Amino acid sequence: MSDGTLRLLLGDQLTPAISSLRDCEPGKDTVLLAEVMAEATYVRHHKKKIAFLFSAMRHFADELRQAGHRVIYVTLEDTGNTGSLFGEVSRHIELLRAGRVVVTEPGEWRLRSDMQDWQARLGIPVEIREDDRFLCSHADFGAWAAGRKELRMEFFYRVMRRRYRLLMDAAGEPEGGRWNFDSDNRHPLGNDMAIPRHPAIACDETTREVLDLVGRVFAEHFGDLEPFDFAVTRRDAERLANWFLRYALPRFGDYQDAMRQGEPYLFHSLLSPYINCGLLDPLRLCRDAEAEWRAGRAPLNAVEGFIRQILGWREYIRGVYWLEMPRYAETNALDAHRPLPWFYWSGETTMNCIAQVVGETRRNAYAHHIQRLMVIGNFALLAGITPAEVEAWYLAVYVDAYDWVELPNTHGMALFADGGRLASKPYAASGKYIDRMSDYCDHCRYDVKQTLGGTACPLNALYWDFLARNEQRLGRNPRLAMPYRNLARMPADQRQAIAQKAAQTLATLDTAQPPESDQPTPPQPGQQTKGRKIKPRAAQQQPKFL
């Protein structure tokens, strides 16, 4: 056996300075990247997501080779590909006679717990290093969370602002005299507001080959493969970041919560896929955004809002995930057990807001935060859809989705399935919110102003019914005091009519199943999802798309 080290890089570890490469000896060590079936199918990822990662991985392998590393890159269809990360590590230890494996910890608990056994199974040392691309270590988050009755992002964020000296003045106080400008950031879009066009990146030969592969092998997965215009190199991802800082950041704050039909991107950055897979550095983005404010090119509410998303929410979400897993995924605080409606996949619903967001998700593998939270998530919350089914959907359909970030956002923020560990109240809303923040209702067959009757917006009755159904659990939450006061003032016959209307809507959902030929396929034998063995129930089944 040689004393060379095999350094495994995962698809979301495309960073030259990552911990697993830190002491890499180019003449002695080998870097391994592998496209494997197990990772591409543990949920049926959107076609664009697989194509994006495979192409970015192939380009990163070239980047490492140019930097002098010895790299083995296993494509999905290479002869001998065992189909799993463990299989590829095991096979290459034999081939290279490697004496040790080094890897940066994976972002998902599923894979992290699997790796725990690798050393015993491989019979050589396996070193799993911390992922210090994140700005808060597990130890630091644990220390911050210890002894707190409630975890709240806002307090965590202040600690992080101080630690990284972002938007702080010389006296150590927050710039502008406030930590948070969120209350300035809830403007609906005016009809005449011009939206900047996000640049599209042209496909090169490598990406074309990947598109061909994904089109053939993953034809049954959800989503449109083309047009494909994601960046797949660090250089192009940085170009997109620079474009955002210049053209969209100045308005990012004002219209962060707005939605407009036919405009999927507005002033959002679209940078999450690149940050999450390691092509962009989160701290550098925050510092570059701060520089825009200091240079007078972007207002403080926009820059603070953007930095809060990355330095605050992104790190907080990850901290909660690793602090609480694996128990976190098992909770179901609102006792929600309804199956995921078929329209989450097909977009075929008369509710225009949902049809629009599912349609954009299918085309782009992207929806912005308010669409994810207040349209798709809100409906699942109000309708009481089983959390595991909703989570499997989010994990599959978005290009930036990994369990560490998708799960707390869905389970905690959107569904309140953790009973308030992550957020202080459920983000439940009636059609009124969607009407205020979008133009979806203008194009809908339902009347958003009505709660009862055949043409009433279904979300209105569902909203009041949600509050009524969960009164025991949520009635004492101080942040819900006002809606519960309004509910209490409602005459009994109105409450009853609302319950009936909600029940009618929910009953039609249950029967809205796909036609026979589109029925979800059974899960793969032994397939794992979220670290748990798959159960043969709809919760873990995902449909085929032909």
Q: Which structure tokens are listed for 74?
A: 């296993």
Binding test (CB under 6 A) with ligand FAD, winner from 15, 30, 276, 386: 276
- Please report whether residue 369 would count as binding ligand FAD according to CB under 6 A: yes
Q: Which does 185 bind (CB under 5 to 8 A by kind): ligand DLZ, ligand FAD, ligand SF4, none?
A: none
- Please report whether residue 414 would count as binding ligand FAD according to CB under 6 A: yes
18 with 129: CB under 8 angstroms? no
In angstroms, the CA 517 to CA 233 distance is 39
DSSP notation for 402-465? -HHHHHIIIIIIIT-TTTTSS-SS-----HHHHHHH-SGGGG-SSBTT-SSSTTB-HHHHHHHH
Q: Is the dihedral of CA 93, 276, 274, 353 positive or negative?
A: positive
Binding test (CB under 6 A) with ligand FAD, winner from 43, 57, 102, 405: 405
Q: Which does 406 bind (CB under 5 to 8 A by kind): ligand DLZ, ligand FAD, ligand SF4, none?
A: ligand FAD
107-129 burial: b if 16+ Cβ within 10 Å, else e: bbbbbbebbeebeeebeeebebe
Q: Site for ligand DLZ (CB under 6 A): how many residues?
A: 17
437 with 370: CB under 8 angstroms? yes
Residue with smaller CB distance to ligand FAD, 86 or 313? 313
Binding test (CB under 6 A) with ligand FAD, winner from 86, 179, 328, 394: 394
- Please report whether residue 278 would count as binding ligand DLZ according to CB under 6 A: no
Residues with Cβ within 8 Å of 528's Cβ and at least 6 positions away in sequence, in order, are: 42, 110, 534
In angstroms, the CA 173 to CA 213 distance is 53
Nearest distance, CB of residue 76 and ligand DLZ, angstroms: 7
Residue with smaller CB distance to ligand DLZ, 84 or 261? 84
Q: Which does 39 bind (CB under 5 to 8 A by kind): ligand DLZ, ligand SF4, ligand FAD, none?
A: ligand DLZ
In angstroms, the CA 49 to CA 222 distance is 10
Q: Which does 307 bind (CB under 5 to 8 A by kind): ligand SF4, ligand FAD, ligand DLZ, none?
A: none
Looking at residue 177, the DSSP 8-state letter turns out to be G
Q: Which does 351 bind (CB under 5 to 8 A by kind): ligand DLZ, ligand FAD, ligand SF4, none?
A: ligand SF4
Query: Residue for token digits 């964020």?
Result: 157
Residue with smaller CB distance to ligand FAD, 321 or 464? 321
Nearest distance, CB of residue 203 and ligand DLZ, angstroms: 18
438 with 261: CB under 8 angstroms? yes
Specify the DSSP element, H or E, that contains 71: strand 71-74
The pattern of x and - marking residues 351 through 390 that bind ligand DLZ according to CB under 6 A reads ----------------------------------------
Contacting residues toward ligand SF4, per CB under 6 A: 351-353, 431, 434-435, 440-441, 444, 446, 448, 457-459
- Please report whether residue 409 would count as binding ligand FAD according to CB under 6 A: yes
Binding test (CB under 6 A) with ligand DLZ, winner from 267, 345, 402, 446: 402
Site for ligand DLZ in 80-139 (CB under 6 A): 85, 106-108, 111
Binding test (CB under 6 A) with ligand FAD, winner from 372, 421, 501, 530: 372
The counts of H helices and E strands in the chain are 25, 7
In angstroms, the CA 272 to CA 362 distance is 17
Nearest to 261 by CA among 423, 371, 408, 110: 371
237 with 166: CB under 8 angstroms? no
E strand intervals along 481-545? 528-529, 532-533
Residue with smaller CB distance to ligand SF4, 306 or 440? 440
Query: Residue for token digits 């930590």?
Result: 179
The pattern of x and - marking residues 68 through 87 that bind ligand DLZ according to CB under 6 A reads -----------------x--
- Please report whether residue 40 would count as binding ligand DLZ according to CB under 6 A: yes
Residue with smaller CB distance to ligand DLZ, 40 or 213? 40
Site for ligand DLZ in 52-71 (CB under 6 A): 53
Stretch in the footprint of ligand FAD (CB under 6 A) among 116-124, 167-175, 353-361, 396-404? 396-404
Nearest to 169 by CA among 304, 27, 323: 304
Residue with smaller CB distance to ligand SF4, 445 or 485? 445
- The angle that helices 458-469 and 481-489 make with each other, rounded to 10 degrees, is 100
Stretch in the footprint of ligand FAD (CB under 6 A) among 5-13, 140-148, 311-319, 463-471? 311-319
Residue with smaller CB distance to ligand FAD, 298 or 405? 405
Query: How far is the CA of 121 from the CAs of 3, 89, 118, 379, 527, in angstroms?
Result: 19, 11, 5, 45, 19
- Please report whether residue 401 would count as binding ligand FAD according to CB under 6 A: yes
Nearest distance, CB of residue 159 and ligand FAD, angstroms: 17
Nearest to 364 by CA among 393, 398, 392: 398
Residue with smaller CB distance to ligand DLZ, 278 or 305? 278
- Please report whether residue 329 would count as binding ligand DLZ according to CB under 6 A: no
Q: Which does 352 bind (CB under 5 to 8 A by kind): ligand DLZ, ligand SF4, ligand FAD, none?
A: ligand SF4
Q: Amino acid letter at 282?
A: P
| 3-state SS class at 532 | strand
Binding residues for ligand FAD, rule: CB under 6 A, are 268-272, 275-276, 306, 309-310, 313-314, 317, 368-369, 372-373, 377, 394, 398, 400-401, 405-406, 409-410, 413-414
Binding residues for ligand DLZ, rule: CB under 6 A, are 10-12, 34-36, 39-40, 45, 50, 53, 85, 106-108, 111, 402
